[in-house]
């Protein structure tokens, strides 16, 4: 039991400098509602934590597993819709809807995983994209899920712990709590047998098989865990945005954003998702929003695209890879 707790909470295998930065980061986030003056800044921080949360989950299959999944948005959608529909139709409390979202995301992922993992590289990536697009179109088409109109959640006076509705400070701690939970889960995961085996599969499938690892089975499990983690974030989106539709919770752009965030930050590293989100979200919410106000759309993604090209060409291990490389020399 003690070992389990240590595996979850301990970062002892990382250098002291990293642990200090982590503590500073947590301190900043914890006190942020008082540090930040504007409601907009608080909204940026919430978006940062949400995307970092999605990144943590994706990092499992995409970073540690090395399988580039471009369809994570479908899992977000499953979580979001499970929560929204149950709240809307049956007034179910938030925490009861989360397992339902997880269940459907995991079930669907398990069903498509075996055929999809017969594919490698590009073909796999495109297949994940297609599956996610098909689901989004089905959700638009299907009346019971509200189609393109989406689902509106009954709004309650805040704070409301049944539906998890709050003011911006409450949402901040809500998403931070979810983020920390998944962050600690990933900390445990990377040290676990499955974590090691998954990385072995990423690095060399044949060798992994020769060491007793069921390659496809491992990939499928990892893919399903990522789906479950994504669904949790989706449920949060419902509670936060109070209105969801396929374009908000399941668009291709979200899948791309999630994957990109981790790739830019450093896939396969526990810090990658946070670094990536820190690099991209403020860029989007400040520069992008500012210019969009003037009628100029798209500069944020233009810069993202450029950053991705640079990373792909010169630093495939992402910003974290660059940091590691530079600090090794020093």
What is the contact surface with other proteins in residues (CB under 8 A)?
A: 3, 7, 66, 68, 115-116, 118-119, 121-123, 125-127, 129-131, 133-134, 137-138, 140-141, 191-193, 196-197, 199-200, 202-204, 206-215, 252, 256, 260, 263, 267-268, 295-302, 304-314, 316
Which 3 state secondary structure label does DSSP give 160?
A: strand
Kindly state the smallest distance separating residue 86's Cβ from other proteins, in Å.
25
CA–CA gap between residue 116 and residue 268 (Å, rounded): 21
Q: How far is the CB of 58 from other proteins (least distance, A)?
A: 13
> Which residue's CB is nearer to other proteins, number 122 or number 329?
122
For 10, residues 6+ apart whose C-beta sits below 8 A from its C-beta are: 187
Shortest reach from residue 268's CB to other proteins, in Å: 7
Q: Report the distance separating Cα 261 and Cα 77, nearest Å.
A: 19
Residues contacting 145, CB < 8 A, separation 6+: 81, 85, 139, 151
Between 192 and 327, CB nearer to other proteins: 192
Residue placing its CB nearer to other proteins in the complex, 153 or 267 = 267
Please tell me the distance from the alpha carbon of residue 5 to that of residue 316, in angstroms, as a whole number: 33
Closer residue to other proteins in complex, CB, 32/265: 265
Tokens of 52: 């970092």
The CB-of-212 to other proteins minimum distance in angstroms stands at 4
CB 46 to other proteins: min, Å: 24
CB of 209 to other proteins, least distance (A): 4
User: How many Å apart are CA 118 and CA 116, to the nearest integer?
Assistant: 5
**Which residues is 244 bridged to in the sheet?**
151
If DSSP codes are grouped into helix, strand and coil, which group holds residue 296? coil
Rounded alpha-carbon distances, angstroms, from residue 100 to 7, 253, 257, 311: 28, 25, 25, 38
Q: What phi and psi values does residue 204 have, to the nearest 5 degrees? A: -170, 100
Rounded to whole angstroms, the maximal C-alpha distance in the chain is: 60
Q: Report how far residue 274's alpha carbon sits from residue 63's, in angstroms, rounded to the nearest whole number.
A: 13
Nearer to other proteins by Cβ, of 36 and 184: the residue is 184
Shortest reach from residue 106's CB to other proteins, in Å: 20
Q: Provide the total of helices (H) and of strands (E) in the chain, helices listed first.
A: 16, 2
Residue whose CB is less far from other proteins, 32 or 139: 139
Q: Considering the complex, state which of residue 26 and residue 312 has its C-beta at the smaller distance from other proteins.
A: 312
- Of 39 and 207, nearer to other proteins (C-beta) is 207
* Ramachandran sector of residue 158 (left: φ over 0; alpha: ψ -120 to 50; beta: rest): beta
| Closest separation in Å from C-beta 277 to other proteins | 17
Q: How many Å apart are CA 64 and CA 229, to the nearest integer?
A: 15
């Amino acid at each position: 039991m003690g070992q389990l707790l240590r595996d979850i909470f301990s970062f002892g295998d990382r250098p002291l400098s990293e642990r200090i930065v982590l503590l500073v980061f947590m301190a900043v986030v914890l006190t942020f509602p008082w540090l930040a003056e504007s409601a907009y800044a608080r909204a940026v921080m919430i978006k940062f934590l949400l995307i970092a949360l999605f990144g943590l989950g994706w990092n499992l299959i995409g970073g540690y597993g090395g399988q580039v999944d471009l369809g994570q948005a479908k899992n977000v959608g499953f979580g979001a819709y499970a929560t929204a529909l149950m709240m809307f139709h049956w007034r179910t409390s938030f925490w009861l809807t989360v397992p339902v979202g997880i269940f459907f995301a995991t079930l669907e992922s398990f069903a498509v995983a075996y055929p999809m993992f017969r594919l490698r590289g590009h073909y796999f990536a495109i297949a994940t994209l297609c599956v996610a697009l098909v689901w989004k179109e089905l959700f638009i088409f299907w009346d019971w899920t509200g189609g393109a109109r989406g689902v509106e959640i009954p709004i309650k006076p805040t704070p409301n712990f049944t539906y998890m509705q709050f003011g911006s400070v409450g949402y901040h701690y809500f998403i931070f709590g979810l983020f920390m939970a998944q962050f600690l889960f990933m900390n445990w995961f990377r040290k676990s047998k499955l974590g090691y085996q998954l990385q072995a599969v990423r690095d060399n499938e044949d060798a992994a098989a020769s060491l007793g690892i069921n390659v496809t089975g491992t990939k499928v499990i990892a893919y399903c865990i990522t789906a479950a983690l994504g669904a949790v974030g989706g449920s949060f989106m419902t509670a936060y945005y109070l209105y969801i539709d396929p374009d908000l919770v399941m668009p291709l752009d979200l899948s791309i954003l999630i994957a990109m965030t981790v790739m830019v930050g450093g896939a396969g590293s526990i810090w990658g998702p946070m670094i990536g989100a820190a690099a991209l979200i403020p860029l989007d919410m400040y520069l992008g929003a500012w210019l969009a106000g003037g009628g100029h759309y798209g500069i944020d993604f233009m810069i993202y695209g450029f950053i991705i090209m640079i990373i792909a060409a010169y630093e495939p291990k992402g910003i974290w890879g660059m940091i590691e490389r530079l600090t090794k020399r020093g």
